[in-house]
Structure 1
Amino acid sequence: MSGSVPMLAVGQIRRRPAAFAGLAAALFLAVAAVTLFGALVAAQLTAPAAVSRAPVAGPGLVVIAGAFGEIAVLVALFVVVNALGFTLRQQHRELALLRTVAATPRQVRRLVRAEVTATVVLAAVPGAAVGSLGARAFLAALQRRGMAAPGLRIPGTPVPMLIALAVALLVGLAASAVAARRVTRPTPAAALTDSSAGPGRTGVLRLLAGAAVLAGGVLLLRLAATRPAGELDKAGQAALLSSLVLLIATALLGPAAARLLAAVLAAPVRALLPRAGWLADANLRGYAARLSSAVVPVALLVGLSATMLIMTSTAEHAARSTGVTTGVTKASDVWLRQAELGLLVCFAAVSTVNTLVALTADRRREFALLRLVGATRRQVLCMLSVEALLTTAVGVLLGGAVAGAATGAFSRAVSGSVLPVVPGPACAWVVVGAAVLTVPGIVGTGLWAVGGRAVEEVGGERG
C-alpha cells in the first residue's frame, strides 16, 4: 500500500468531492486570511523610514493588522479544523475497511496526511492570490480614511504566502492526526463495527478538552468584565476573543448540548407534525455528532455576528449617555469592526453551507431506506424541512447564548450593568441570514439526494 498512498488519496478526494470541497473552501479562506494580514504587516516593515513614520489616524497598520487578523485567522483555522473533522468522519467506513485488508495504522495515517496535503496544495495558490488582492484593497481603504500612510505598498515578497501555506498545512496535519486516532486506535473489526453503527458517545478526552476550553472562555469573560473604564478597547477585544473560545467549547461539547436542545425544541414540533416531527426528532437525537457538525457553523455565524453588533450598540449607547468617545465608538474603529464582521460572516457562511450540503448529500442511502419502507419523497422532504428548522433553532440558541455571555461581560465594563443594549432589527437579520443559509441548503440538497431510485441507492455503496 505504501507506493499507492498518493493514488488512494486522489481516489478518495474524487470519490467524495462534496466533503473535500468543504475542506478546500475552509483552507482557501485560511490561506487567504493569513496572507492578507501578513502582507499588511510586510508592507509596514518593508516601507522606507520616511513612509513608515508618517503620522496616521489610529493605532497604525501593524496594530490594525494584528488586532483585526487575530480573530479572523483564529476563526478561519477553527473552520478548517471543523471541516477536516467532518471530512474524515465521512471516510470512516472506507478507512476501517482498509484496516481489515491488512493496512496498518501507520499506513492509514499516511493516507490521511496525503489527502490533507493534497487539499492544502490545491487551495493554497488561489487562496494566496485572493489574500494578496484583499490586502491591496484593504490597504487602499485604510489610506482613504487616513489610517495608513499614503506611500505604503504591498511588497512582492512571497513570505506571507509561504507562512500561510505552512500554517494551513500544520493545522491540517495536526487536526488529521487527532481525527485519525478514531480509526487507527481500535482493532480493524471494532473500527468497522463503529463505522456501521454510527458515532458513539462523546469521548472522555473531548469532554475534558471542552471543559478546559470552557474554563478559558470564562476567564476571558471575567477579564473583559473587570477592565477599567479607560481600557474599553481591551475589554472589547477580550469579549470578542471570549466569544470565539466559547464557540470552540461549544464545538467540543456540541453533541451533548445539541441533543438536549433538540429534545426540548422538538416537543412542540412533534405535537404539530406527529409523523415528520417525530422522525426528525429521532434523527437529530440519534445522530448527535451529525447534528453537532450542522449546528456549530450556525452557532459560529450567529455568535460572532451578534457579539460584534451588540458590542457596538452598547458602546455607542454608553458614549451618548456620558459624552465620552472612546476607540470603541470612533467612526474609524466602527468601520474596522464592520469590515471584520463582513469577513467573519463570510467565513461562517461558507462553513455553514459546505457542512450542511455535504451532511445532507451523504444521507442518500438513509433517504432511500425510508422510501423503501413506505415514505414518499414529499414526506422525506417534509422531515428534512423540520430538521432544518430545528437545526437552525439550536444553532441560533447556542450562538445567542455565547453572544449574550460575551456582550454581558463587555457591558459590565462599559456601564456597570450586565445587560447590554441589543439592536433588535440587526440581530433579527442575523437570525434570518442563518435560516436563509441553513434551510435552503438542507432542503435543496435533500431534493437532489432523494431523486434517484431507492433500490439502487440502498444496493450501492454509501456516498
Structure 2
Amino acid sequence: MFALALRSLRKRAGGFAASFAALFLGAAIVMAFASMLDTSIRGNASGAAAETLTIMAAVVGSWGLILVVLAVSSTLALSVRQRAEEMALLKSIGATPAQLGRMVVGEAAVLAVAAWALGIVPGLLGGRALLAMLHDTGQVPAGIGYAFGPIAPAMGLGVTLVSAVAAAMIAVRRTARARVAESLADAAVGDARLGWKRIAGGIVCLLLGLDLAVITSTVLRDEGDAAMATAGQADIFAALGLALLAPWLIRRIAGALARPLGLLGVAGDLAVSTLLRRTGQMAAVVMPIILFSGIAAGTIYLQEIESDAIRAAGLLSTVEQKNIATLNFVVIGMILVFTAVMLVNTLLAATAYRRREFGQARLAGATPGQVVGAVALEGVLLTVIGLVCGAFAAAFTVVPFGIARAGTALPDLGPLTMAGVAAVAAALTMATALGAARRAVRVPAVEAVAV
C-alpha cells in the first residue's frame, strides 16, 4: 500500500497541492518560532530574554499543531471524497479498510516529510526576522545571536508529521469503513451527518472557552498579565468549538433562508441546495473564516483594552507587557497568514471539485452566469456565518477581559478592528470562490460532466 501511495502522489500531484501548501506553511512557521529555543539555549539567554524566547516557541508550537491539523484535515477530507471511485474499486478487488487507511496515511506522511524539508529554509529566515524584531524592541539583548537547530528542525518535523498522520486518519476513517455504494454516495453529495465525536468536541471546546472567560472576569479580575493569558485562550477554544459545529450551523441557517433566497431565482435555489447537500464541504470553508475573525479580533481588542488600562492608570509599559503585546501581534500575524492560506486552499479545492456539478447544472438549463451567481451567494452566506461566529467567539475574550481590566463588559473599542477583519475575510472568500467558479464554467458542460 505504501508503493501505491507513492504512485498516487505522482499521478494526483494537483489534488494534493492544497494539503502540501498547508503542511509547508505550517512547518515553516513552527520551525521559525521553535528556533527561539535554539537561540535561547545556544545564546545563554537568561531572565526576561529567556522567558520571551521560550514563550514564543511554546505558544506558537502548541497552537500551530492544532491549526495545521485543522487545515490538513479539511483539504485531505476533500481529497478522499474526490477519490471515492478509486477507493470503491480497491474495495471491490479485496482491499481492506486497514489497507486503504495505510495508503492515505502513507501519502500524508510523504507529503509531510517533503513539506518539512522544503520549509527549513523559510523557517530559518523567518526565525531570523523574528529575532531581529525582538532585538529592535529591546526584549532580547543584541548580543544574543540567532541559532537554528537541532530543536527547530526536530519540532518542525514532529509537528508536521503528527499533523499529517492525524489528519489523514480522521479523513479516511469513515470512507475506508463504508460500503462501496455509501462511498460513492458520499462523494456525490458529501456526508450531511454530524458525528457525535465532532459534536462532543465542539461542545467541550465551547465549555473550555466559557470556563476561561468566567475565570478571567472573576478569579483573575485586576490581575493583568494572568487575566490576559486566560482571556487570550478563551476565544481560541470558542472559535474551535464553533468551527467543529459549523455543519450544523450551516444547515440551520440555510434552511431558515431557503424561502427568501428562492426569490432570487435560479442562483438562489442553487445556493440553498448546495449548502443543504454539501454541508461538510461548506463547513471546511467556514472553519478558517471563524478561526481568523474570532482569534484576530479577540486578540487585537484584548491588547487595546490592556493598553487603555495602562494609560488610564498613568503607567508606562513594562518589558513584560511589551513582550506580551509583541507575542499577541505575532500570533495574530501567524493566524492571519495561515488561515488565509487555509481558506484559499480549501475554496480552490472544493470549487474545482464541483466542475462536474456545474456542468450538470448547465446541461439542466442553468447559464454560466447563474452558476457563478450561485457560488457568489454561497460565498456571501458562508462569509456572514463565519464572521458572526467569529464575533461571538471574540466575545469570549473581550467581555471577560473588559470586566477584569476596564470594569465593563462592553469597553469602548470602536468597530474599526472588526470591520477590518471582516473586510479581509470577505475579500479572500469572494475573490477565491468567484475566480475558481469562473475558471470551472469555462469548460464545456459536456466535457465537464464526462470528467
Q: TM-score, normalised by structure 1?
A: 0.89
Partner amino acid, structure 2, of 1:27: L
Check 1:290–1:152 CA distance in 2 against 1; reply closer, same or farther (3 A cut): same
Question: For residues 372 and 451 of structure 1, what CA distance do their matches in structure 2 show?
Answer: 14
**Structure 2 partner of 1:233:** 225
Is 175-184 or 372-381 further displaced after alignment? 175-184
**Does 2:62 correspond to 1:66?**
no
Runs of at least 5 residues in structure 1 that lack an aligned partner in the other structure: none
Please tell me the residue identity of whatever aligns with 1:28. F
1:304 to 295, 303, 311: 295
Aligned twin of 2:116: 124
State the Cα distance separating 1:70 from its structure 2 match.
Answer: 4.5
Q: Which residue of 2 aligns with 1:393?
A: 384
Match of 2:272 among 257, 267, 281: 281
Q: Which amino acid aligns with 1:405?
A: F
Q: How many residue pairs are counted as aligned between the two chains?
A: 451
Kindly state the Cα deviation for residue 345 of structure 1 after the two structures are TM-superposed. 0.4
Question: Over aligned residues, Cα RMSD in angstroms?
Answer: 2.5
Q: Do 2:73 and 2:170's aligned partners in 1 also have CA atoms closer than 8 Å?
A: no
Aligned to 1:148, the other structure's residue is in SS state coil
Q: Secondary structure of the residue that 1:423 maps to in structure 2?
A: coil
Query: What letter matches 1:236 in structure 2?
Result: M
Residue 310 of structure 1 aligns to a residue whose secondary structure is helix
Task: Please say if 1:190 is aligned against 2:182.
Answer: yes
1:149 aligned onto 2:141: yes
1:222-371 correspondence to structure 2 within 5 Å: 222-264=214-256, 268-271=260-263, 273-324=264-315, 330-331=321-322, 333-371=324-362
Distance in 2 (CA, whole Å) between partners of 1:64 and 1:20 is 31
Residues in 1 aligned to 2:75 and 2:450: alpha-carbon distance in whole angstroms: 28
Given the alignment of the two structures, is residue 429 of structure 1 paired with residue 420 of structure 2, yes or no? yes
In structure 2, distance between residues paired with 1:264 and 1:111 = 41
Offset at 1:300? 1.3
Return the alpha-carbon distance in structure 1 between the equivalents of residues 224 and 132 of structure 2. Answer: 28
Instruction: State the match for 1:26 in structure 2.
Output: 22
Distance 1:269 1:422, change over 3 A: farther
CA shift for structure 1 position 320: 3.6
Q: Which residue of 2 aligns with 1:101?
A: 93
The equivalent of 2:4 in structure 1 is 5
Distance (whole Å) between structure 2 residues aligned to residue 27 and residue 356 of structure 1: 17
| Cα drift, residue 361 of structure 1 | 0.7
Deviations for 1:416-446, whole angstroms, at most 9, x for unmatched residues?
A: 3222443312221111111110001001100
Tell me, yes or no, if structure 1 residue 171 matches structure 2 residue 167. no
Q: Which amino acid aligns with 1:25?
A: A
Matched, 1:382 2:378: no
SS for the counterpart of 1:131 is helix
* Within-5 A mapping of 1:14-93: 14=13, 17=14, 19-48=15-44, 52-53=45-46, 59-67=51-59, 69-93=61-85
Moved more, 326-335 or 416-425: 326-335
Q: Which moved more, 1:26-35 or 1:223-232?
A: 223-232
Identity across aligned pairs (percent)? 31
Q: Which amino acid aligns with 1:206?
A: R
CA distance in 1, matches of 2:60, 2:98: 40
SS at match of 1:374: coil
Alpha-carbon distance change, 61 to 43 in structure 1, aligned in 2, over 3 angstroms = same
| Cross-structure match for 1:372 | 363
Structure 2 portions without partners, runs of 5+:
none
Change (3 A) 1:447 1:126: same
The answer to whether the 8 A contact 2:208-2:237 is kept is: yes
Q: Is the 8 A contact 2:238 2:396 kept in 1?
A: no
Offset at residue 216 of structure 1 (A):
2.2
Please state how far the C-alpha of 1:314 moved relative to its aligned partner: 2.1
Residue range with higher mean Cα deviation, 5-14 or 158-167: 5-14
Aligned 8 A contact 1:61 1:147 in 2: no
CA contact under 8 A between 1:88 and 1:179: conserved in structure 2?
Answer: yes
Structure 1 CA distance, aligned partners of 2:170 and 2:366?
39
Which one of the candidate residues 126, 130, 134 is aligned to 1:138?
A: 130
SS at match of 2:435: helix
Whether the 8 Å CA contact 2:235–2:395 is kept in 1: the answer is no
217-226 vs 290-299, which moves further: 217-226
Native 8 Å contact 1:295 1:394 kept in 2: yes
Asked if structure 1 preserves the Cα contact closer than 8 Å seen for 2:266 and 2:366, the reply is: no
Are the aligned partners of 2:355 and 2:448 in contact in 1 as well (CA < 8 Å)? Answer: yes
Whether the 8 Å CA contact 1:28–1:124 is kept in 2: the answer is: yes
Pair 149,276 (structure 1): closer, same or farther in 2 beyond 3 Å:
same
* Bigger mean CA deviation after superposition, 449-458 or 61-70: 61-70
- How far 1:306 sits from its partner (Å)? 0.8
CA distance change for structure 1 residues 69 and 414 in 2, over 3 Å: closer, same or farther?
A: farther
Q: Tell me if the contact between 2:221 and 2:403 (Cα under 8 Å) persists in the aligned partners.
A: no
Whole-Å separation in 1 of the counterparts to 2:2 and 2:231: 50
Distance apart, 1:342 and its partner CA: 1.6
C-alpha distance in 1, partners of 2:194/2:155? 34
Separation of aligned partners in 2, 1:226 and 1:74:
28
CA apart distance, 1:114: 1.6
Mapped partners of 2:449, 2:75: distance in 1: 27
Distance 1:208-1:169 versus aligned 2 partners, 3 A rule: same
Deviates further, 323-332 or 192-201: 323-332
Normalised by the length of structure 2, the TM-score is 0.92
AA matched with 1:416:
G
For 2:313 and 2:65, how far apart are their aligned partners in 1?
A: 35
Instruction: State the AA in 2 paired with 1:38.
Output: A
Q: Quickly say closer, same or farther: Cα 1:226–1:304, change in 2 above 3 A.
A: same
The residue matched to 1:393 in structure 2 has which SS?
A: helix
How far residue 229 of structure 1 moved from its aligned partner, in angstroms, is: 4.1
Partner SS, residue 231 of structure 1? coil
Once residues 198 and 343 of structure 1 are traced to their aligned partners in structure 2, the CA distance between those partners, rounded to angstroms, is: 31
Alpha-carbon spacing, 1:74–1:192, altered in 2? closer, same or farther (3 Å): closer
